[in-house]
Structure 1
Amino acid sequence: MRALLIVNPNATSTTPAARDLLAHALSSQVQVRVVQTTHRGHAAEVARRAALEGVGLIIVHGGDGTVNEIVNGLLGAPEPGSMRGVTIGPIPPVAVVPGGSANVFARSLGINPDPVVATNQLIELLTLRERRRVGLGHCDGRWFTFNAGLGLDAQVCEAIDASRSNGHAATPARYVRTAIRTFFRNKSLEPALTIEVPGHDPVEGVHYAFVSNSSPWTYLDERPVRVNPETTFDSGLGVFAMRTMAVTPSLRVVRQLLTPGSQPKSRKLFRMDDVPRVRIRSRVPIGLQMDGDYIGMRSEVEFVSVPDALTVIAPSRA
């Protein structure tokens, strides 16, 4: 089988040694060709071309942003009135060897975050021909694999993107510091969001909202952060919307997010699991992020759950 290994050399934990080890190890299982990305959007272009050429497997060595690019390159933009992607020919399965800072998608699939261990795991999965279908989320003309959000998290992602451009690594500590600064900078602002879920009255007075396609929502080093613990790649979307920026109730919810087995709840929190779609409106333009990448300012976004959208090389169930 022909395989394409797409490497983002600028990802946080991607190294030439790990890339060479991965390529060498894969050569025992597949006929592999290596491409290193050189610019934003390059991974999507390469993946799309590989699918058209009949490549049988796409392997990603990079972070969540690179994975997102490749998924969007493979599936394309949905047809009007449908969530079916505009694609030509079969879509090859995707395998991920983590190379970023959080690697949420891969870890949520049960892939080890250590690139060397993950390489051995991938070889075993290929030998056993183990794979699974996963659902994805879609909004604003793009696919997302694990989460999206409007407001607070989008501002954090925007700030992290800017710090990366200035040569700063995207570490968990930097995310925490940035999130704290962003929270206090925005705590006095009036809520702007309204959440609309089918079969439910509109929820107004929302400051920020997270939409999940899986759980955890993210990781802080080894610790998972679970905003919608019941949301999985096999269910609908999870919605987590805060109607306060007060410090005390916010800290209570944060503690719940970091407590294993906890189901986050608060009088000021609107949370639902297994939602087929959700529309979020804002009275002023507000930031949107998908899979940790800042997308831009939006006034209205509809998020849709798309079951069985992608085949991945991963354990049958994480």
Structure 2
Amino acid sequence: MRALLIVNPNATSTTPAGRDLLAHALSSRVRLTVAHTTHRGHAAELAQQACVDGMGLIIVHGGDGTVNEVVNGLLGTPPPGSTRVESVGLVPPIAVVPGGSANVFARSLGIAADPVDATNQLIDLLARGELRRIGLAHCDNRWFTFNAGLGWDAAVCEAVDAHRKNGRPATPAQYVRAAVRVFFRSKNAEPTLTVHVPGQERVEGVHYAFVSNASPWTYLNKREVHTNPDTNYDSGLGVFAMTSTSIVTTLRVARQLLTPGVSPRAKKLIRVDDVPSVHISASRPIGLQMDGDYIGLCNDVEFVSVREALDVVAPKS
């Protein structure tokens, strides 16, 4: 089988030695071509060309942002409101060897966090021909794999992106520091969001909202953070939205998010699971993030679940 290995050499936990080891190990299982990304959007371009070239597999060695680019390159722009993939031609499955700071997508699929362990796991999965078909989601004309958000987490992603541009790596500690700074900077601001889940009443006065396609929502090192524990790649979307920025309420909910087996609940929390879509509007432009990357400002976004959208090399759930 012909396979393309897309490597982001600037990802947090990639090294030249690790990349060489990965390529050497995979060459024993597939006919491998290696491509390194050189600019933003390059992974999407490489994925598009891989489809044209008839590659049987795309392997991504990088962080969640690189994976997101590859998925968007493979599937193309999703039409607004569409509940199915409308790509032209055959879409090869993807495999992921973690190389970023959080690697939420890979780890949520049961892929080992350590790149060497993940490489050995991938070789075993390829030997067994083990594939899993997962659901994805889209909004703002772009696919996302595990989560998106408006408000607080988007501002955190924007701050961390700025941190990266200064040549400093993104770490869990950096995300926590950014989250605390953003929270206290904006806690007295008026809420701007209105959330509408089909079949339910609109909820106004929302400060920030997370939309999940999988769980965990993220990781703090080895600790999982669950906003919607029942959301997974075989279900619809999970929605988590707060109508309060009270410190007491926020700390209570944060403790629930970090406690294994607990489904977050609070009077000021709107949380629903397994919905086909959710519409969120803002009274003024607000930040949007997808898969941990800051996208920009928006006023009106519809998030849509698409079942069985993509084949991945991963343990079967």
- 1:42-100: per-residue Cα shift (whole Å, max 9, x none)? 00000010011100000000000000000000000124663444423210000000000
Matches within 5 A, 1:117-128: 117-128=117-128
Q: Is the aligned partner of 1:105 residue 2:105? A: yes
Q: Describe the SS at the equivalent of 1:262.
A: coil
Q: Is the aligned partner of 1:67 residue 2:62? A: no
1:242 is aligned to: 242
1:202 is aligned to: 202
Tell me if the contact between 1:136 and 1:145 (Cα under 8 Å) persists in the aligned partners: yes
2:180 is aligned to: 180
Question: What do you get for the CA RMSD once the two structures are aligned?
Answer: 0.8
Measure the CA separation in 2 of the matches of 1:151 and 1:267. 20
2:140 is aligned to: 140
Change (3 A) 1:138 1:316: same
- 1:150-186: per-residue Cα shift (whole Å, max 9, x none)? 0000000001000100011100000000000000000
Matches within 5 A, 1:16-95: 16-79=16-79, 82-95=82-95
Give the TM-score normalised by the residue count of structure 2: 0.99
Measure the CA separation in 1 of the matches of 2:88 and 2:188. 49
Q: Is the aligned partner of 1:275 residue 2:275? A: yes
Measure the CA separation in 1 of the matches of 2:257 and 2:263. 8
Measure the CA separation in 2 of the matches of 1:85 and 1:198. 21
Aligned residues: 317
Residue identity matched to 1:33: T
- 1:234-281: per-residue Cα shift (whole Å, max 9, x none)? 000000000100100100000000000001000000000001000001
- 1:129-153: per-residue Cα shift (whole Å, max 9, x none)? 0010000010000000000000000
Q: Describe the SS at the equivalent of 1:250.
A: helix
Structure 2 gap segments, 5+ residues each = none
Measure the CA separation in 2 of the matches of 1:78 and 1:211. 17
Residue identity matched to 2:11: A
Tell me if the contact between 2:78 and 2:143 (Cα under 8 Å) persists in the aligned partners: no
Measure the CA separation in 2 of the matches of 1:224 and 1:135. 21
